[in-house]
Amino acid sequence: MKSQRSGFNLSPLVFMIVRGETEDVPPTIVFGLPAGSAAVEPSGALAVFPGSILHLECLFARKLGNPEWTWTSTFRQYLTGWAIAARERDWKYRLSIYYAKVQDSGIYTCSTPRGLSNSIRVHVVDVQCPVLNLPEPPLIGKIEGARMGHGATFECPVGFKLEGAAGITCQYNGKWSAEMPRCETIECPPINAIGDTRLQLLEYNNTFGGRAVFACMWGHQLLGSQNVECQGDGSWSGGMPSCVEIICPTPSIPKSGRIMESQTSRHNSPRKQHQTRVYKVGALVRFACLPGHQLLGEASIICTENGTWSHPPPVCKVRCPYPGDPPHGRIAPLKFWYKPGDNIQVTCSPGYVTPLEPVRKPTCRENGIWSAPPPPCRSYKDV
């Protein structure tokens, strides 16, 4: 089984669809419309607009003989015969109605030499649909006309989607097959109910070509893309990002030093046995060194928004502290801290001297303790 149609697009045709390839079935009738317009009525009749040129084709194998066209109209005679074109001439036996008139209405029958026949009802009628208004922008339309069988096609520019039928036709009953469609702006699903309250929208436009730009609350980092674009298919170009709290790694404790205090927050409840300290952005850690040590570097570091510490942890170096000037004397060199191996000597005020024997300068030892206190200055009178 195979259906044959020619002409233009219409709603499904109701003709006999069995193709007359053998002598045992009635022949198929199809139509062609080189000029004018037509529509199919629900009864199967072909409604033809006056003035159209109509070819009725009776499909039959020429080698089996000639079919015959007969008609009920008494208005005029019609040309019948095999189609001319090479690809049609052996199987299309044609009846042509030129510039159809109301009086051409009637039943047209094709009969095979063996007496099998098929008919088509032709109804020449002046039916017009209401004239369509010109489509209002942004709707773009191509309107053929408002006669029965005429059509109109519609589309929307980029950024819009067509709501309704892309094509409508003027039907046999003078009604358009559908209403004019509309163009609707393409919009992506709204992003308002973000579950994550730490996520903020810096920019938001959910029409086609627009974008949404995200940021996270202070102290949080964005996971995922910072912005998404509304695409032509009404979907966002990517998934929604999320925010994670920025945390600095636990700082290392310097050798011979300790962490004095830290403003940290605790992830776990205070009652849990193993508390892990969590260093959020802004957390401050202060270091101190054991006695006999000098702190080199920064004594305080802070957790930055990059998740890194503002400075590396300090180091604690073995040092001897300034031992203090003896009465009536000064030590040299004068420093806050002395390295192991450093010596000091004492210079006494006028009228004072240090003991001559034994001559031993205090030395800073490897443990950060002076080998001896600074020697005292004594009055001449006492020496």
Ligand X SMILES: *[C@@H]1O[C@H](CO)[C@@H](O)[C@H](O)[C@H]1NC(C)=O
- Using CB under 6 A as the binding rule, whether residue 157 contacts ligand X is answered as no
Nearer residue to ligand X within complex by CB, 207 or 235: 207
Query: Which positions from 201 through 220 interact with ligand X, judged by CB under 6 A?
Result: 205, 207, 209-210
Burial (CB count within 10 angstroms: exposed 0-12, middle 13-18, buried 19+), residue 14: middle
Residues 6+ apart with CB under 8 A from 314: 254, 257, 287, 289, 295, 296, 297, 298, 299
Which is nearer to ligand X, 90 or 184 (by Cβ)?
184
- Is position 184 an interface residue for ligand X (rule: CB under 6 A)? no
Check binding of 221 to ligand X (CB under 6 A): no
Q: Does 305 bind ligand X (CB under 6 A)?
A: yes
The count of chain residues that interact with ligand X, using the rule CB under 6 A, is 7
Least Cβ distance, residue 207 to ligand X (angstroms) = 5
**Closer CB to ligand X, 42 or 209, in the complex:** 209
Stretch that binds ligand X, among 48-56, 69-77, 220-228, 301-309 (CB under 6 A): 301-309
Among 185, 306, 349, 371, which residue sits at the site for ligand X (rule: CB under 6 A)? 306
Name the one residue in this structure whose structure tokens are 């149609």: 5
Strands (E), 188-263: 199-204, 211-216, 220-223, 227-229, 242-245, 247-248, 257-262
For Cα atoms 300, 304, 305, give the angle at the middle one, nearest 5 degrees. Answer: 170
355, 378 in Cβ contact below 8 A? yes
Of 91 and 309, nearer to ligand X (C-beta) is 309
Q: Give min distance, CB of 208 to ligand X, in A.
A: 7
Is-contact 299 348, C-beta < 8 A? Answer: no
Closer of 90 and 305 to ligand X (Cβ): 305
> Looking at 118-126, 164-172, 298-306, 370-378, which segment touches ligand X (CB under 6 A)?
298-306
Q: Which is nearer to ligand X, 137 or 195 (CB)?
A: 137
Peptide bond just before 333 cis, omega within 30 deg: yes
280-to-40, 222, 245, 283, 337 alpha-carbon distances in Å: 77, 15, 7, 6, 35
CB-count burial class (<10 Å; 0-12, 13-18, 19+) for 89:
middle
The amino acid present at 198, given as its one-letter code, is R
| CA-closest candidate to residue 55, choices 135, 110, 131, 2 | 110
Q: Which is nearer to ligand X, 65 or 209 (CB)?
A: 209
Asked if 373 touches ligand X (CB under 6 A), the answer is no
For residues 173 and 306, which CB has a smaller minimum distance to ligand X in the complex? 306
CB under 6 A: which stretch of 53-61, 67-75, 215-223, 299-307 binds ligand X? 299-307
Which amino acid, one-letter code, is at 138? Answer: P
Determine, following the binding rule CB under 6 A, whether residue 304 of this chain makes contact with ligand X: yes
Positions that interact with ligand X (CB under 6 A): 205, 207, 209-210, 304-306
